[in-house]
């Protein structure tokens, strides 16, 4: 029995998570061995408990096998001091649980190819996975700061640092993901300029010997950015450092043009993970019942595949999403101009019905 901690969060979070829970409940009725527990995070946790990540939530998260999160944040929390802001709830979960491997798929269902700003033939059927190192690299490296030089000029500095063990664990995570997909892994670095990524490349080459069934290639980050826009379908899995991944994964997500469709995962060394849509709490549409729940529902599919190894159930959810798109169902964010749209709950119900 797998225990899932459900953290709806703020804004549209509770609305979209409710639909993902419907899907889980339906699969449970069919024999999926999961139990659900609910908890508080973000602004709603601050409102109820005075902190965006109450101790009890962290205890629940540690005890769970996986976490399903909606989104956090809202304008009413922006004046709070930094440690009390909703996003600290997310950051606290990532660091508290050592979720160092961030999986960001960019999938474009053929039915939605027109939503992309790229030509449909370049992106239709796109299915790539960017694996970003999440807890190291230049965003965390020391020393860091802004100092005043002897001549009075100010100088800002950060440190790009990776230990061999940090590279190895994100590398292994990415190879294992590639084994569950198309068995091709592209490691993105800047080994021609940065010594730290020269080491990155050496470690990738070394551990590749343990994954003979995966084809490993290397690409410089500037070329990778270009190739992502030129011919994105050449990639299967991409693994890269924190900052490169931050930039490339946003670019890859935008190839699809539909933020309401994209799930994500953050995993620890044992495959335990937190699963969430890539979008935020969308305060502009919260409470209206029009948010797209598909990114959250697809986050459940990722959870079943990557934390629990239940690919059949994951396939079933993804196929159901494909079916509702085939039926022409669209929430307003993915509807073409003039096309009729459905609400959040209607879309969730349709996915449940399409599970067959
Ligand atoms: P956002 O992703 O919430 O919204 C951007 C735009 O996309 C909005 O117009 C919104 O209506 C739309 N949108 C997003 N998700 C949608 C969905 N499922 N269905 C239909 N439309 C959708 O980003 P933002 O407006 O920059 O941020 C809003 C709040 O969310 C802020 O407080 C921000 O800090 C927070 N945020 C949280 C996360 C997270 O929880 N992981 C991520 C990003 C932003």
DSSP string, 36-52: EEE---THHHHHHHSSS
Ligand 1 atom showing the smallest separation from residue 284 Cα: 11
Question: What's the pLDDT at 169?
Answer: 96
Domain final residue, candidates 262, 287, 307:
262
Return d(Cα 275, Cα 187) in angstroms, integer.
23
Q: Name the band, by pLDDT with cuts 50, 70 and 90, for residue 125.
A: confident
Whether the pLDDT of residue 113 is over 90: the answer is no
Mean per-residue pLDDT over the chain, rounded: 95
Same domain as 127, residue 57: no
Return d(Cα 325, Cα 347) in angstroms, integer.
10
**For ligand 1, atom 26: residue with the closest CA:** 280
Same domain as 279, residue 200: no
Return d(Cα 66, Cα 6) in angstroms, integer.
9
Expressed in angstroms and rounded, the spacing between residue 286 Cα and the centre of ligand 1 is 10
How many structural domains compose the chain? Answer: 2
Question: What's the pLDDT at 187?
Answer: 98
Decide: 178 and 214 in contact? Cβ < 8 Å: yes
Same domain as 82, residue 134: no
Whether the pLDDT of residue 132 is over 80: the answer is yes
Sheet holding 101-107, edge to edge: 34-38, 2-9, 66-71, 273-277, 263-267, 101-107, 127-133, 237-240, 184-189, 215-220
Same domain as 229, residue 109: yes
Q: 280 CB less than 6 Å from ligand 1?
A: yes
Structure tokens at 242: 């924190």
Same domain as 94, residue 105: no
Average pLDDT over every residue of 206-218? 98
Average pLDDT over every residue of 55-77? 97
Mind listing the pLDDT tens digit for each residue in 249-271? Answer: 989 988 887 889 999 999 998 98
Same domain as 249, residue 161: yes
Mind listing the pLDDT tens digit for each residue in 8-46? Answer: 999 999 999 999 999 999 999 999 999 999 999 999 999
Same domain as 304, residue 257: no
Expressed in angstroms and rounded, the spacing between residue 281 Cα and the centre of ligand 1 is 5
Q: What pTM value is reported for the model? A: 0.91
Q: Name the band, by pLDDT with cuts 50, 70 and 90, for residue 328.
A: very high
Domain final residue, candidates 234, 262, 290:
262
Whether the pLDDT of residue 156 is over 90: the answer is yes
Domain around 49? 1-100+268-356
Same domain as 303, residue 252: no
Among 75, 79, 78, 89, CA closest to 40: 89
Look up 333 and say whether it is catalytic.
no
Question: What's the pLDDT at 227?
Answer: 97
Return d(Cα 333, Cα 115) in angstroms, integer.
10
Question: What's the pLDDT at 110?
Answer: 85
Q: State the DSSP code for 258.
A: -
Same domain as 186, residue 59: no
Q: Report the CATH number that the domain containing residue 315 is assigned in CATH.
A: 3.40.718.10
Same domain as 30, residue 156: no
Domain final residue, candidates 215, 238, 262:
262
Question: What's the pLDDT at 356?
Answer: 83
Q: Between the CA atoms of 143, 223, 178 and 168, what dihedral angle is there, to the nearest 10 degrees?
A: -30
**For ligand 1, atom 30: residue with the closest CA:** 280
Same domain as 130, residue 242: yes
């Amino acid at each position: 029995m797998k225990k899932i901690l459900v953290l709806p969060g703020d804004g549209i979070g509770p609305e979209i998570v409710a639909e993902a829970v419907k899907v889980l409940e339906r699969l449970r009725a069919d024999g999926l061995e999961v139990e659900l527990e609910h908890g508080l995070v973000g602004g709603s946790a601050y409102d109820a408990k005075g902190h965006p990540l109450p101790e009890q939530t962290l205890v629940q998260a540690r005890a769970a096998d996986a976490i399903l999160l909606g989104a956090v944040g809202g304008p009413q929390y922006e004046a709070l001091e930094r440690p009390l802001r909703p996003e600290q709830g997310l950051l606290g979960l990532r660091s508290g649980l050592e979720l160092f491997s961030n999986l960001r798929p960019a999938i474009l269902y053929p039915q939605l190819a027109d939503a992309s700003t790229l030509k449909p033939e370049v992106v239709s059927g796109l299915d790539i996975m960017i694996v970003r190192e999440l807890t190291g690299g230049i965003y965390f490296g020391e020393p860091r700061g802004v100092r005043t030089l002897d001549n009075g000029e100010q100088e800002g500095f950060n440190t790009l640092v990776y230990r061999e063990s940090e590279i190895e664990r994100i590398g292994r995570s990415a190879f294992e993901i590639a084994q569950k997909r198309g068995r091709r892994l592209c490691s993105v670095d800047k080994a021609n300029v940065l010594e730290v990524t020269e080491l990155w490349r050496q470690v990738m080459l070394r551990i590749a010997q343990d994954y003979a069934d995966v084809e490993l290639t290397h690409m410089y980050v500037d070329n990778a950015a270009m190739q992502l826009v030129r011919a994105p379908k050449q990639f299967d899995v991409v693994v890269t450092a924190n900052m490169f991944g931050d930039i490339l994964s946003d670019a890859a997500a935008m190839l699809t043009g539909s933020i309401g469709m994209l799930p994500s995962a953050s995993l620890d060394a044992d495959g335990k993970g937190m699963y969430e849509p890539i979008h935020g709490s969308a305060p502009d549409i919260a409470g209206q019942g029009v948010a797209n729940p598909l990114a959250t529902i697809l986050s459940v599919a990722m959870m079943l595949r990557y934390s629990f190894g239940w690919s059949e159930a994951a396939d079933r959810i993804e196929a159901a999403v494909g079916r509702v798109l085939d039926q022409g169902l669209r929430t307003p964010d993915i509807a073409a101009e003039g096309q009729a749209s459905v609400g959040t709950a209607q879309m969730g119900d349709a996915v449940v019905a399409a599970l067959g």
